[in-house]
Structure 1
Amino acid sequence: MYDNSMKIEFISKSQNESFARVSVAAFVSQLDPTLDELTDVKTAVSEAVTNSIIHGYENKEGIVKIEASIKGRELILIVEDNGIGIENIDMAMQPLYTSKPELERSGMGFTVMETFMDSLQVESEKNKGTRLIMKKVFNSLS
């Protein structure tokens, strides 16, 4: 059982990326994170949501779902879409790989998420969507 949890969903518009980032940051604030910890989470959320919008839905309208849960000092964060899915997860997770080179994407989204969170799990099925499960333990003291 979790100590606390929240769920939000929103239309896959780039304007909603900042809403997602700030919403998760507000939820995480109950753990009294350091500024660095909070920035890590906000950056990971930003990358995950941007991936859903650009790659999952290919800038078409869909729904992005975020679920955040706290258990002790650990944040469990799930970002999910019902987009086109990822054909080859291993390839997609390689630094500098992008499926959209014409958009001048850096191909660093998953690398950034892995760097700033303690763990990243990617589940995806072609034409059904993608689910990212990220975890981070907060070392700051309340």
Structure 2
Amino acid sequence: MEIKNQMRLEFLSKSQNEGFARVAVAAFAAQLDPTLEEIADIKTAVSEAVTNAIIHGYENTIGYVSIESKLFDNGIIIDVIDKGKGIEDIEKAKQPLYTSKPELERSGMGFTVMETFMDELEVTSSPNEGTHIKMVKYFANDAEETGRV
């Protein structure tokens, strides 16, 4: 897989930066002319990953969230990285409806949403060292299949 372009973005773990991150990654991905549905999928997954970093990774403290994105022939790799508290049990955290913050009325669907909207999801984390979420989205290349001309 040959990387065509890449970018790195770093911002404070403030909730108002979630929208910025979502739009920035979508604009970067637009270079490959994805469908509107593919862009919406990316925005949704990035939103969930960044929100997890802010709410769960940094828990009422301020740190940095980094996003690294790489474009290749038919898709994008998106890494969302925080240096927050980490996840003790990744498999438990990935279970639908599981939330460590029920008092915040969190749905517990963040990882499920990421898995649904992206083609690949990999989560690595260590307590007190942070979390790295790697997501891959492949874009349809067939103009007839996607409706692109």
TM-score higher than 0.5:
yes
Q: Counterpart in 2 of 1:129?
A: 130
CA RMSD of the aligned region, Å? 1.0
Unaligned runs of 5+ in 1: none
Q: Counterpart in 1 of 2:139?
A: 138
| Structure 2: distance between partners of 1:80 and 1:132 | 6
Off by >3 Å, runs of 4+ in structure 1? none
Q: Deviations over 1:12-61 (max 9, x none)?
A: 00000000000001000011111110000000000000000000001310
Task: Verify the 8 A CA contact 1:11 1:63 in the aligned structure 2.
Answer: yes
Q: Deviations over 1:119-139 (max 9, x none)?
A: 100000000000000001000
Q: Deviations over 1:83-122 (max 9, x none)?
A: 0000000000000000011111000000000000001000
Unaligned runs of 5+ in 2: none
Q: Are residue 23 (structure 1) and residue 24 (structure 2) matched?
A: yes
| Structure 1: distance between partners of 2:24 and 2:137 | 17
Secondary structure in 2 aligned to 1:127? coil
Q: Counterpart in 1 of 2:85?
A: 84
| Structure 2: distance between partners of 1:96 and 1:134 | 20
Task: Verify the 8 A CA contact 1:13 1:59 in the aligned structure 2.
Answer: no
Secondary structure in 1 aligned to 2:3? coil
Select between 11-20 and 131-140 the one with higher mean Cα deviation. Answer: 131-140
Mapping of residues 1-142 of structure 1, within 5 Å: 1-140=2-141, 141=143
| Structure 1: distance between partners of 2:60 and 2:48 | 15
Task: Verify the 8 A CA contact 1:12 1:59 in the aligned structure 2.
Answer: no
Count of residues in Structure 1 that have an aligned counterpart in Structure 2: 142
Letter in 2 for 1:66: I
Letter in 1 for 2:127: K
